[in-house]
A and B are shown apart, each in its own frame.
Chain A
Amino acid sequence: MNAVAQAVATASTAPLQVSGLTHRYDSKVVLDHVDLALQPGSVLGLIGRNGAGKSTLIRAMLGLLEPQAGQAFVFGEPSLKLSDAAKERLGYVPQQPDALAWLTAAQMFDYLSRFYPRWDHRFVKDTMQRWKIEADKVMAKLSPGERQRVDLARALAPQPELLVLDEPASALDPVARRELLREIALRAGEAGATVLFSTHIVSDLERVASDIAFLHDGRLLLHCPVDETKERYARLWLPANVAAAAPASPLGKRRHEDGSLSVIVECDANGAWPEAAHLPGARVDTLGLEDLFVEIAE
């Protein structure tokens, strides 16, 4: 299959797919040829430091921003020209929701529910009660955490097949965050929804994400299943006298003051680490995602 046919085939099966996305603000490159496709039913955690380009990527994926180069598809349709039918199947929560802030939550739900045939009134009612949010308060007067939860309920109520959350947990306390993660996990597992959520809090992602993507300086450094990431990458530490034998690594290398060296290494298909791991004094440390993220992003 040639590259174009392949891209078309992927776009028709993947709920969300982008290729070659590139974008600049003034002279700063925010997205640098990003290719990414989400498999149906997967939960992708998009991780990156503040300013890594996560929100720009999400906005370009959904057609809320026109990238300078590259293409984005939602359910196989070009994101910039989404049909109403595709929009009905998509739920999106921006980082700082502020739409319709002059309405009360109850008014907003009532208004929006008319546009969505699958709107789940019961879910909204239960959720608002469980989260103890006053539905008849003007949304502009809610706290940031309350406002974020109202918007999550808003996005989940139409039972979307694709759910995109930009830093959904940023204003939530630990209990609310855990509850949100549970909701994401069960939606994906049972309703078969596909979820993309961005975060800079690694522990959020480790629980529920099936896949992880590292975005750093506008480039996608890594995209693979969470379990595999933990099993495939490790930190190799080499003492100063053998540091010169360090294998090349695209993912990060650090020289320490005493001349020793840490480098992120990948195991081969048989689970074996590079040869340098057997040098005298060498040590291989398995890494949690947070450590791996710090090593790569520094």
Chain B
Amino acid sequence: MDASLLTIQPASAEPIYRQIVEQLRRLIAGGQLPPGELLPSVREVAGFHAVNPMTVSRAYSLAESEGLLERQRGKGMTVAARSRPALSQTQRLALLEPQIAALARQARELELPAEPVLRRLDKLLKE
């Protein structure tokens, strides 16, 4: 995996370490990062995105404690090999819940009816 695969938005209200963990979770759940895939070193991620290495370490440790990553001696972090059954559709949908809730809230604030929002979303999803 390349460090550029991660997107970091420093100005977001979500702390950077959480942004990294959430992205890893999605990439792993979606299969873009297969078991055994080697992750970029803390230094590579910190250097590429100009972020504090401690933030990256914290994200990796959290992902490790959640079973997403495994520390391979002498190699670095890899995507956990434990052959876990692929996440069900419900579980994958649950990962998107915060974003969907935010979208719904903003749509209500803009007083947009559901239909045009769903139409637009549908179009984006089919792109």
A residues sitting closer than 8 Å to B (CB atoms) are: 41, 43, 178-179, 181-182, 185-186, 188-190, 202-203, 206-210, 226-227, 230-231, 286-291
Q: A182: nearest residue on chain B (CB-CB)?
A: B50
**Interface residue from B8, B11, B42, B53 paired with A288 (Cβ < 8 Å):** B11
B46 surroundings in chain A (CB, below 8 A):
182, 185-186, 189
Asked whether, in the complex, the Cβ of A186 is within 8 Å of the Cβ of B15, the reply is: no
Answer whether A288 and B52 are a contact pair too, CB < 8 Å, given A182-B47, A185-B46, A190-B43.
Answer: no
Asked whether, in the complex, the Cβ of B54 is within 8 Å of the Cβ of A210, the reply is: yes
B residues sitting closer than 8 Å to A (CB atoms) are: 8, 10-18, 42-43, 46-47, 49-55, 58
A-B contact pairs, 27 of them (CB 8 A): A41-B54, A178-B50, A179-B50, A182-B46, A182-B47, A185-B46, A185-B51, A186-B46, A186-B53, A188-B53, A189-B52, A189-B53, A190-B43, A190-B53, A202-B11, A203-B11, A207-B8, A207-B51, A208-B50, A209-B52, A210-B55, A226-B15, A227-B16, A227-B55, A288-B11, A288-B12, A290-B11
Asked whether, in the complex, the Cβ of B13 is within 8 Å of the Cβ of A286, the reply is: yes
Asked whether, in the complex, the Cβ of B13 is within 8 Å of the Cβ of A185, the reply is: no
Minimum CB–CB distance for B53 against chain A, Å: 3
Asked whether, in the complex, the Cβ of A208 is within 8 Å of the Cβ of B52, the reply is: yes
Q: A287: nearest residue on chain B (CB-CB)?
A: B13
B8 surroundings in chain A (CB, below 8 A):
207
CA distance A182 to B43 in the complex (A): 10
Q: A41: nearest residue on chain B (CB-CB)?
A: B54
**Interface residue from B13, B15, B42 paired with A189 (Cβ < 8 Å):** B42
Minimum CB–CB distance for B56 against chain A, Å: 8
Chain A interface main SS type:
helix
**Interface residue from A178, A209, A288 paired with B13 (Cβ < 8 Å):** A288
CA distance A289 to B117 in the complex (A): 30
Answer whether A186 and B43 are a contact pair too, CB < 8 Å, given A287-B13, A288-B11.
Answer: yes
A41 surroundings in chain B (CB, below 8 A):
54
Asked whether, in the complex, the Cβ of B50 is within 8 Å of the Cβ of A181, the reply is: yes
Instruction: Given contact pairs A186-B47, A226-B15, enumerate 8 new A-B contacts (beta carbons under 8 Å).
Output: A181-B50, A182-B47, A185-B51, A190-B53, A203-B11, A208-B51, A208-B52, A230-B14
B42 surroundings in chain A (CB, below 8 A):
189
B53 surroundings in chain A (CB, below 8 A):
185-186, 188-190
B18 surroundings in chain A (CB, below 8 A):
227
A202 surroundings in chain B (CB, below 8 A):
11
Asked whether, in the complex, the Cβ of B52 is within 8 Å of the Cβ of A207, the reply is: yes
CA distance A190 to B10 in the complex (A): 21
Select the residue from A181, A189, A202, A289 with max chain B CB neighbours within 10 A.
Answer: A189
CA distance A43 to B47 in the complex (A): 15
Asked whether, in the complex, the Cβ of A206 is within 8 Å of the Cβ of B10, the reply is: yes
Answer whether A231 and B51 are a contact pair too, CB < 8 Å, given A185-B46, A186-B43, A203-B10.
Answer: no
Asked whether, in the complex, the Cβ of B14 is within 8 Å of the Cβ of A189, the reply is: no
A43 surroundings in chain B (CB, below 8 A):
52
A290 surroundings in chain B (CB, below 8 A):
11
Minimum CB–CB distance for A45 against chain B, Å: 10
CA distance A206 to B18 in the complex (A): 14
CA distance A288 to B17 in the complex (A): 14
Q: B46: nearest residue on chain A (CB-CB)?
A: A185
B51 surroundings in chain A (CB, below 8 A):
185, 207-208
Minimum CB–CB distance for A81 against chain B, Å: 33
